[in-house]
Structure 1
Amino acid sequence: MHDQIPLTRDLVLIGGGHTHALVLRMWGMNPLPGVRVTVINPAPTAPYSGMLPGFVAGHYSKDELDIDLIKLARFAGARVIVDKAIGIDLRARTISLKGRGPIPYDIASIDIGITSEMPNLQGFAEHGIPAKPLDTFAARWDVYRKEAKKPRVAVLGGGVAGAELSMAMAHALRGKSAEVRLIDRGTALTEFSETARSQLLKSLKEARVEVIENADVVEVTADAVVLKDGTRVPSTFTNGATGARPHGWITETGLNLYQGFISVGPTLQSSDSHVFAVGDCAYLTHAPRPKAGVFAVREAPVLFHNLRAALSGGTFKGYQPQKDYLKLISLGQKSALAEKLGTAVRGPLLWSWKNRIDTGFMEKFHKLPTMAQPKLPALVADGVRAVMGDVPMCAGCGSKVGRSTLRAALADLPSSDRDDVRYVKGDDAAVIKVGGETLVMTTDHLRAFTHDPDLMTRITATHALGDIWAMGAEPQAATMSVILPRMSSELQQRTMAEITSAAADVMGRVGAVVAGGHTSVGSEFTIGFTITGRTAGEVRTIEGAKEGDVLILTKPLGTGVLLAAEMRGLAKGRDVLAAYQRMAEPQAVASRILASEARAMTDVTGFGLAGHLSGICEASGVGAEITLANLPVLRGAEELIAAGVKSTLWDENREGAGGVFGAQGPRFDLLFDPQTSGGLLAAVRADLADEMVRKLRLCGYGAAAIGRITDTPAIKVI
């Protein structure tokens, strides 16, 4: 029912902090119809700060630490833009991003946390690593603790963050003769009561962390921290944990600030009523509090209510934080200190308590509620339930018509006696002769699998261009066909601006021009392109492969299963993001490398590798042999298909591929996985194959020689 309600408002969440993560979870369970939600974050995941010391110590894995924003956004019906916000135009109501055009908003909320970067400390940018943003720090630390032979660590900042991290690092590096030092320009741990401070200093000593107080750091080098008095403190991993620093771009927004942080009142609105701010990047003018995750978590229900109120004309609630809160501090090993109202105790039981709280919080995101699918009417026609199945229909190429069905339909097309049009059955483009020049023409479209119009346009354009590149042609002109879901004219304008900008960029980069198109309104976002290309030489078709030719594939397999898993909340966000990046990867250079020598070529899309290879074999009167071990595969795809996750088109692809036999297993199943914007598949002479693969890899393609052409009319898998 919600799908039939037009979209009229844009809500943009800047940052994937704890408050926003909880709001997304609440939104998924109770969305406000008519609102399009966008999340902007520099990474597909957002680490949970409460478990960071445990991760550093080795008690938690990276997956346990991370909130998967792509999975969470799917649950909430939102789009994720993996990019960094760098500004806000309050007058135009747009958000500037580092890597793409501005994003309009009606209501925006900022939850970007803080940074511990030290731009004024000489050498820190080159040789140091700030504790925040957490995702960058966590990745760098993970590599260092595994590879460091003689660890020397210095943590700058003697607050609670520095103490926790230094003890965690010492625990993780135990047995490696590590040296860990905590350096503070004044007295360490002054924010605690004397009782708690005494306990923490004792814990630092027990963890073999050397505390250096009243030390002014003037420079960071690759192997040392240099103090004002000339002392060089050995360090090959220098971590900045000097407290809360606001992100620099906030100062340019025009919002009212307090010491660089966004001033907000009880409703969590800034000086601009259309912009909210929460978490560590905000300053509560009515009730100032220290930077602590507990406040961010408790802001979530109020923010969720007030965002809905701002978008629907409702009444607002006020947020009143508690005056004091329980502090649970990790002590490196599985022990913790608890402090409240000046009283402090420590021990393993407190770590168990903290662990239970933290893992319970993360459980909210690792095990999202299962929302009931819309029920069918009690009485439906025979066959309806069988066609619908028990999983959502896949999008992208997973929603295409199967190869067998399509071949049967095309078989009834009347033949043509025109000598200026050539079409090989199974090829995706027609060859047209115009005034002595050879043109190719194709059309393709995709049902959207992401709510991001920019990303969907880039992938669809690259996917459609694959038909041109597969024939060895250069793209010339394109027209668009766009179906938008119901939305207000303002949102239509915003959406079309993203689509046309992305299409022009993709086509322009390969020398083609966008020459208009057509739009309509329907139930789902769908985008397509009709493209022409030109070539000075002979076009490449699926005919012409010879026995002994080597088969080269330019992109890894697995987009179908990853998209199917993402729709069901089963794929990891970073794997989905990697698949998106591969799908948007152009094949122009790969086409030029292969087209000069390929005897037959196609692009691997909806029918899967086996289906498209069958087309080459049938048209060329040959067979093929595939070596499973040589197949390039996207991260996560093999594990997902082994677990039984398959695209809804998989069964038809298996049937439509014909005679495919031999070794079985997950990689065999990936042969029938429908690919969206997949790679080029070319049959080339054996003596040229190694050099072509080398050239392709030098140009950044994950190309591989995956098999050979045989004289047996079937596909053998080894």
Structure 2
Amino acid sequence: MTPLIPLTRDLVLIGGGHSHALVLKRWGMNPLPGVRVTLIDPGPLTAYSGMLPGHVAGHYDADILQIDLVRLARFAGARLILGRAEAIDLALREVIVGARRIGFDAASLDVGVTSRMPQVEGFAEHGVPAKPLGLLARAWGEFRAGEGPARVAVIGGGVAGAELAMAAAHGLRHRAATVTVIDKDRLLAGASDSARRIVRTRMSALGVTAIEAAGVARIEADRVLLDDGREVASDFTIGAAGARPQVWLADTGLATTDGFVDVAPTLETSARHVFAVGDCAHMTETPRSKAGVFAVRQAPVLFDNLRAALSGGAMRDYCPQEDYLKLVSLGGKSAMAEKWGRAVAHPLLWRWKDRIDRRFMGKLSDLPEMATPKLPEPLAEGVVEALGDKPMCGGCGAKVGRGALGEALAGLPTRTRADVLPLPGDDAGLIVTGGLRQVISTDHLRSFVEDPDLMTRIAAIHALGDIWAMGAKPQAATVSLILPRMSAEMQRRTMVEIMGAAREVMDAAGAHILGGHSSLGSELTVGFTVTGICEDDPVTLGGARPGAVLILTKPIGSGTIMAAEMARAAPGRAVAEAWDAMRQDQGRASAILKGAQAMTDVTGFGLAGHLSGICEASGCGAELRVADVPLMPGALDLAEAGTRSTLFADNLSGAGAVITGAGGPRTDLMFDPQTAGGLLAAVAEQDAERLLAELRAAGYPAAVVGRMVKGAGLRLI
């Protein structure tokens, strides 16, 4: 048997820039055993700079210029932390992300630059920086979809500003647009004479106005005020006046030049095994302008040197070219090429640029299927069938099916002593001591995300769901952990992250962590045993009466989305939104619904399975209106593409005699296992409208999804 290689080193990539995206692709194809890779970025997607002007011009949809960091991280076996790095503690070798501290043995910065203009009054409220790119891409999509005359101002008349202005004029042809470029110097001051002539001619043809030698005094919602008193009408103001370093880099203790991080030819900063690449870096021995071509060509050198830093190997130097070919789009499907001071424009150059950009994006989206280890021969009968044709899901997708579990629980005694009521099949057991009603439950999850902080938060919310479903207030918790095999230092780092997250969630819920147990194993597993106090009788599965209205507090679809994510088939934005939904606690919802006739939390057995449980315990039937059940974004598309959790078949058979009507992908989602799902409550019809309004006011995307009826069984309509 091949020994499990323990984790011994932490590599942290700060920022999802072009270099880091390419490093992740290479790492997935050739990982260094024993290294845990972490990517930190504010969002699940990052925009590719080369295609942004094409998006503004209307040549590309927004999706085509987005690099999906969720998919890349999964391919590389990396954990993705969605947050903004705020500082680096070089003494402790930690990256600070909000309240978190992420330890590292080697780290790399690829955080880009910003075009924010804090010195200009009103820019923060009314301006849109050209960088970071994602913000402009999102804001522009909404603006371009509007109607009526459009007025755009671009502050900064360099090549980037002129390119965006031409793109805006072309992209707003349908809105009688006026586009103005404003520069404190002269237009295209750093470009060659031939490039300047080409761009000026094209801007004139597009009706773009250039204002030179003019400073900006203030920006308002509908205008830009210049230093000389002139006003430029603008409903959408873009800041493109140069690249500024991220402010926080100046406080890292790293050597900088004009705020950009100094790097040696190895791309290493002044701190050992801390690297920097892309626009945030300043190559001290071979300074170059800020351009994406350097970030792309730094990637293979960075990859090799990170591996060398973590394995004791020798590093190599990055040698940037003296000049590079600049391809500038000219609004329509035409482009200008410039190198060595000479420029030429032609529609064929746009087609060339488009091919180059699509090829680059293809490198990061067309991820190869890596070979899986071959099974030994011979094998015991049934091994292949037990493994299945896809990886086992994590979270609630890894639970034992409802049918098998129900059969096992059927032999348990319903009551063993006067003060203990096990309530088989319900969300939690009930202990009555001196009149005090205490509910108790335990739950643990096989990890489905690499980030232990995120996994802990989801597992804690999931475990607390059993307490909230009984209408109880969380009281106490113990933690049960299995960590992947790792070095003592990495155990310490991971435990600090896990316990910090657990404490934060439990504290917010009002529960006190009493202790727990930990061990090492093959993969991360996080669990909690929780107790709660019921001020009144607990809300159980039994008690629902015909006519009661069914309210669901969260959308469903997490099982399908997480199954797709494991296969790198889920859009990163959908995954991030599913994570957010799973992290939403149900404490306030439980308090609002504490007078429900019956209630449960929707978890591993799916919405249909848990509603069947209410039907069985209450002795009546239910109608579930499938079209009214809220779904997580992306879940239906994935279900229509054939994605199913590994627990889906068990849930389908374990839900009992369910009448599914026409069926189809949306109906199938009713059997999708949920992790940290919402509360499903049967409430009196006269209270339903009020309770729904209170839930929505409290921030829950709650919906009425059906009602209890006479008879038995569940019907999906």
TM range, normalised to the smaller chain?
over 0.9
Q: Specify the alignment match of 2:585 in structure 1.
A: 586
* Matching of residue 309 in structure 1 with residue 308 in structure 2: yes
1:156-195 mapped onto 2 (5 Å cutoff): 156-195=155-194
- Which whole-Å CA distance do the structure 2 matches of 1:455 and 1:282 have between them? 30
- Which whole-Å CA distance do the structure 1 matches of 2:430 and 2:74 have between them? 41
The one-letter code sitting in structure 1 at the alignment partner of 2:5 is I
Q: What secondary structure sits across from 1:381 in the alignment?
A: coil
Q: What secondary structure sits across from 2:100 in the alignment?
A: coil
Q: Specify the alignment match of 2:701 in structure 1.
A: 702
- Which whole-Å CA distance do the structure 2 matches of 1:363 and 1:595 have between them? 52
Aligned counterpart for 1:623 among listed residues 621, 624, 627: 621
The one-letter code sitting in structure 1 at the alignment partner of 2:319 is Q
**1:396: how far off?**
0.4
Moved over 3 A (4+): 414-417
Q: Specify the alignment match of 1:648 in structure 2.
A: 646
1:540-551 mapped onto 2 (5 Å cutoff): 540-551=539-550
* Matching of residue 280 in structure 1 with residue 315 in structure 2: no
Contact 2:616 / 2:713 at 8 angstroms: preserved in 1? no
The one-letter code sitting in structure 2 at the alignment partner of 1:475 is P
Contact 2:15 / 2:111 at 8 angstroms: preserved in 1? yes
TM-score (norm 1): 0.99
1:188-587 mapped onto 2 (5 Å cutoff): 188-587=187-586
Q: Unpaired runs of 5+ in structure 1? A: none
- Which whole-Å CA distance do the structure 1 matches of 2:342 and 2:336 have between them? 10
The one-letter code sitting in structure 2 at the alignment partner of 1:421 is V
- Which whole-Å CA distance do the structure 2 matches of 1:527 and 1:555 have between them? 22
- Which whole-Å CA distance do the structure 2 matches of 1:241 and 1:620 have between them? 64
- Which whole-Å CA distance do the structure 1 matches of 2:414 and 2:428 have between them? 16
- Which whole-Å CA distance do the structure 1 matches of 2:707 and 2:121 have between them? 57
- Which whole-Å CA distance do the structure 2 matches of 1:535 and 1:673 have between them? 30
**1:142: how far off?**
1.0
- Which whole-Å CA distance do the structure 2 matches of 1:488 and 1:510 have between them? 33
Aligned counterpart for 1:606 among listed residues 594, 604, 607: 604
The one-letter code sitting in structure 2 at the alignment partner of 1:710 is V
- Which whole-Å CA distance do the structure 1 matches of 2:454 and 2:272 have between them? 30
- Which whole-Å CA distance do the structure 2 matches of 1:580 and 1:650 have between them? 20
Q: What secondary structure sits across from 1:126 in the alignment?
A: helix
- Which whole-Å CA distance do the structure 2 matches of 1:197 and 1:412 have between them? 84
**1:435: how far off?**
1.5
**1:104: how far off?**
1.0
- Which whole-Å CA distance do the structure 2 matches of 1:394 and 1:308 have between them? 31
Q: What secondary structure sits across from 2:12 in the alignment?
A: strand
- Which whole-Å CA distance do the structure 2 matches of 1:427 and 1:160 have between them? 65
The one-letter code sitting in structure 2 at the alignment partner of 1:395 is G
- Which whole-Å CA distance do the structure 2 matches of 1:471 and 1:491 have between them? 38
* Change in CA separation of 1:433 and 1:224 when aligned onto 2, cut-off 3 Å: same
Contact 1:12 / 1:105 at 8 angstroms: preserved in 2? yes
Q: What secondary structure sits across from 2:610 in the alignment?
A: helix
- Which whole-Å CA distance do the structure 2 matches of 1:517 and 1:62 have between them? 47
The one-letter code sitting in structure 1 at the alignment partner of 2:713 is A
- Which whole-Å CA distance do the structure 2 matches of 1:120 and 1:365 have between them? 37
* Change in CA separation of 1:359 and 1:324 when aligned onto 2, cut-off 3 Å: same
Q: What secondary structure sits across from 1:695 in the alignment?
A: helix
- Which whole-Å CA distance do the structure 1 matches of 2:310 and 2:75 have between them? 20
Q: What secondary structure sits across from 2:432 in the alignment?
A: strand
The one-letter code sitting in structure 2 at the alignment partner of 1:213 is E
**1:86: how far off?**
1.0
Contact 1:3 / 1:523 at 8 angstroms: preserved in 2? no
Q: Specify the alignment match of 2:135 in structure 1.
A: 136
- Which whole-Å CA distance do the structure 1 matches of 2:546 and 2:230 have between them? 72
Q: What secondary structure sits across from 2:60 in the alignment?
A: coil
Contact 1:2 / 1:33 at 8 angstroms: preserved in 2? no
* Matching of residue 636 in structure 1 with residue 629 in structure 2: no
**1:150: how far off?**
2.1
- Which whole-Å CA distance do the structure 1 matches of 2:99 and 2:144 have between them? 35
Q: What secondary structure sits across from 1:534 in the alignment?
A: strand
- Which whole-Å CA distance do the structure 1 matches of 2:47 and 2:669 have between them? 32
Q: Specify the alignment match of 1:30 in structure 2.
A: 30
- Which whole-Å CA distance do the structure 1 matches of 2:570 and 2:414 have between them? 45
- Which whole-Å CA distance do the structure 1 matches of 2:147 and 2:119 have between them? 28
Q: Specify the alignment match of 2:14 in structure 1.
A: 14
1:304-355, Cα deviation, whole Å (9 max, x unpaired): 0000000000000100001111000011111100111122111211000000
The one-letter code sitting in structure 2 at the alignment partner of 1:628 is V
Instruction: Provide the aligned length of Structure 1 versus Structure 2.
Output: 716
Contact 2:414 / 2:423 at 8 angstroms: preserved in 1? no
* Change in CA separation of 1:330 and 1:494 when aligned onto 2, cut-off 3 Å: same
Q: Specify the alignment match of 1:673 in structure 2.
A: 672
Contact 1:448 / 1:526 at 8 angstroms: preserved in 2? yes
Q: Percentage identity across aligned positions?
A: 58
- Which whole-Å CA distance do the structure 1 matches of 2:711 and 2:536 have between them? 31
* Change in CA separation of 1:2 and 1:454 when aligned onto 2, cut-off 3 Å: farther
Contact 1:280 / 1:296 at 8 angstroms: preserved in 2? yes
- Which whole-Å CA distance do the structure 2 matches of 1:222 and 1:708 have between them? 49
**1:148: how far off?**
4.8
* Matching of residue 151 in structure 1 with residue 137 in structure 2: no
Q: What secondary structure sits across from 2:663 in the alignment?
A: coil
**1:415: how far off?**
4.3
Contact 1:28 / 1:76 at 8 angstroms: preserved in 2? yes
**1:94: how far off?**
0.9
Q: What secondary structure sits across from 1:102 in the alignment?
A: strand
**1:2: how far off?**
8.8
The one-letter code sitting in structure 1 at the alignment partner of 2:609 is G
* Change in CA separation of 1:3 and 1:630 when aligned onto 2, cut-off 3 Å: farther
1:39-50 mapped onto 2 (5 Å cutoff): 39-50=39-50
The one-letter code sitting in structure 1 at the alignment partner of 2:6 is P
Q: Specify the alignment match of 2:85 in structure 1.
A: 85
- Which whole-Å CA distance do the structure 1 matches of 2:499 and 2:2 have between them? 27
- Which whole-Å CA distance do the structure 2 matches of 1:614 and 1:2 have between them? 44
Q: Unpaired runs of 5+ in structure 2? A: none
Contact 1:13 / 1:40 at 8 angstroms: preserved in 2? yes
Greater shift, 182-191 or 299-308, is seen at: 182-191
TM-score (norm 2): 0.99
- Which whole-Å CA distance do the structure 2 matches of 1:3 and 1:165 have between them? 55
Contact 2:89 / 2:252 at 8 angstroms: preserved in 1? yes
* Change in CA separation of 1:628 and 1:502 when aligned onto 2, cut-off 3 Å: same
Contact 1:302 / 1:318 at 8 angstroms: preserved in 2? yes
The one-letter code sitting in structure 2 at the alignment partner of 1:36 is R
The one-letter code sitting in structure 2 at the alignment partner of 1:315 is A
Q: Specify the alignment match of 2:75 in structure 1.
A: 75
**1:421: how far off?**
1.1
Q: Specify the alignment match of 1:95 in structure 2.
A: 95
**1:3: how far off?**
8.2
Contact 2:557 / 2:632 at 8 angstroms: preserved in 1? yes
Q: What secondary structure sits across from 2:559 in the alignment?
A: helix
